[in-house]
Structure 1
Amino acid sequence: MITVSVIGSGNVAQHLIKVFSKTTGIELVQAFARQPESLLHLLPYEKITNDYQKLQKADVYIISVTDNAIAEVSEQLPFKDQLVVHTSGTSAISILDSKNRKGVFYPLQTFSKNKEINFSSVPLCLETEDETDFQVLEKVAQAISEKVYRISSEQRRSLHVAAVFVCNFVNHLYYIGNEVCDKNNVPFEVLHPLIRETAQKIMELSPEEAQTGPAKRNDTKTIDQHIEFLKDSKYQDIYKLLTQSIQDVSKKL
């Protein structure tokens, strides 16, 4: 049995608390939250603390807070020579305080509090400074996921940048598409099958092979009509920039 303590109460922390609480071979010893009531829907009060001095012994301490707070939190931990990891996609392993053994436990997924996650398919990117610590972290990861990877800080940074493009930016484009539909009294759900097919297709084809649309075809008449239709200059700029990028890629192929 590997014991784990989660430090944080945000989206990622809450999802980790949920999965660890129901995983065989992992014991969630405790969770730390500045406001304990934020975790009462997940844990009994006695398993939550807001006092670093009252953190109980665990094999792994997982800091799951904003990137700006990782260094401060790791400095405040009252113990030494324990395995302390963070869940950030962009922060290097070196940001953790040197009084403890360092590691990274990065789940590459988008997390929302009200959306359940099947952790078995979530890629977990691991990094440690010591091989023995890696084996411990690997056991924790394998207990909840079928996709576990050894990823360096530099590789993880590149993954996080790529993830912003394929997830966060794409979601913002959904927002724009939804707004265009709303303004023209068209239900956004009409686009759901297209969204599903686009996501599914990229599992089978490369991005270059999957690309379609007026920019790919260099259909300048349609492109000009779309730009004219989009009255918002910000959306016009986004449309033009993405169109140009698609065309530039197509010229290289």
Structure 2
Amino acid sequence: MIRVVVIGAGNVAQHLILAFQKTKEVQLIQVLARNKMELSCLLDSNLITSDFNQLKEADLYIIAVSDNAIHDVSSQILFDNKLVVHTSGSTDMSVIHSKNRKGVFYPLQTFSKTKSLDFSRIPIALESENTSDYKLLEKVAKAISNEVYQINSEQRKALHVAAVFVCNFTNHLYQIGETICEENKLPFELLKPLILETADKIQTLSPNEAQTGPAKRNDTTTINAHLNFLKDENQINIYKTLTKSIIDNGKKL
């Protein structure tokens, strides 16, 4: 059985903890977190520590903290020549302290502590310095997910940028839509079937094939009517930028 230590108590760490607890191939032997109380509802207290001096020896250490803290955290691991990985989509594995072997264990999903997920459907992107470490990472990843991929650093950075577009930016557009609804005394629930259908369509169509709307049709009458309706300058600029991008994309095809 592969012995794993998770370092961190945030969104990613908590979902990994829950996933590891459901598999027999991996033994979660310890979690290190600054605030032990954040994990009290997930683990027995004897499995949680906030002291690096009490860190147990394991086959794999997974650092699930903010990107700018990865190097500092990795430097505090007392052991040498252990496999230490981070879960960041945009950070190079070279930031991990050189006293240990390095890798990346990147689960591609948006994580919230209060929203449960089926981890078996979450893609996990792996990277390591050598083949033997990759095989270990692959075993751990396949123990909790059916979607495991080997990608290099540049591919992972590209994947993370793409994820920001399809997730974070899209969610911000949901927020703008919700604001427009609230300002006009409309329930945001009216848009939810449309949101779900839009996401569902790309399961069978390419995003280009699924694109609809006034910009796709180059319907300048409707576009101008929308721009005249909007009063918020930020919303107007976003509408103009996205409309131009859709129209320009159509010209390229």
**Which range, TM-score by smaller chain?**
over 0.9
**Structure 1 residue identity aligned to 2:78:** P
TM superposition score normalised by structure 1: 0.99
**Structure 2 equivalent of residue 226 of structure 1:** 226
**Structure 2 equivalent of residue 40 of structure 1:** 40
- For residues 107-122 of structure 1, the aligned pairs below 5 Å read 107-122=107-122
**Structure 2 residue identity aligned to 1:75:** S
- For residues 155-170 of structure 1, the aligned pairs below 5 Å read 155-170=155-170
Q: Does 1:72 align with 2:99?
A: no
Aligned Cα RMSD in Å? 0.7
1:181 Cα deviation from its structure 2 partner: 0.7
Give SS of 2:79's match.
Answer: coil
1:21 Cα deviation from its structure 2 partner: 1.3
Deviations 1:193-216, CA, capped at 9 Å, x for gaps: 111110011111111111110001
Runs of 4 or more above 3 Å deviation: none
Distance (whole Å) between structure 2 residues aligned to residue 130 and residue 53 of structure 1: 28
Deviations 1:107-150, CA, capped at 9 Å, x for gaps: 00000010001011100000000101111110000000000000
Give SS of 2:61's match.
Answer: strand
Deviations 1:42-89, CA, capped at 9 Å, x for gaps: 111111111111110111100000000001101111110001000000
Q: Does 1:239 align with 2:232?
A: no
1:93 Cα deviation from its structure 2 partner: 1.1
Q: Does 1:252 align with 2:252?
A: yes
Aligned length: 253
- State percent identity of aligned pairs: 60
**Structure 2 residue identity aligned to 1:155:** Q
Distance (whole Å) between structure 1 residues aligned to residue 198 and residue 174 of structure 2: 13
1:227 Cα deviation from its structure 2 partner: 0.8
Distance (whole Å) between structure 2 residues aligned to residue 11 and residue 251 of structure 1: 41
**Structure 1 equivalent of residue 208 of structure 2:** 208
Give SS of 1:41's match.
Answer: coil
Q: Which runs of 5+ in 1 are unaligned?
A: none
Distance (whole Å) between structure 1 residues aligned to residue 175 and residue 134 of structure 2: 40
Distance (whole Å) between structure 2 residues aligned to residue 130 and residue 213 of structure 1: 48
Q: Which runs of 5+ in 2 are unaligned?
A: none
Distance (whole Å) between structure 2 residues aligned to residue 24 and residue 45 of structure 1: 21
TM superposition score normalised by structure 2: 0.99
**Structure 1 residue identity aligned to 2:24:** T
**Structure 1 residue identity aligned to 2:62:** I
Distance (whole Å) between structure 2 residues aligned to residue 225 and residue 113 of structure 1: 41
Distance (whole Å) between structure 2 residues aligned to residue 177 and residue 52 of structure 1: 46
- For residues 54-73 of structure 1, the aligned pairs below 5 Å read 54-73=54-73
- For residues 178-197 of structure 1, the aligned pairs below 5 Å read 178-197=178-197
**Structure 1 residue identity aligned to 2:140:** V
1:98 Cα deviation from its structure 2 partner: 0.9
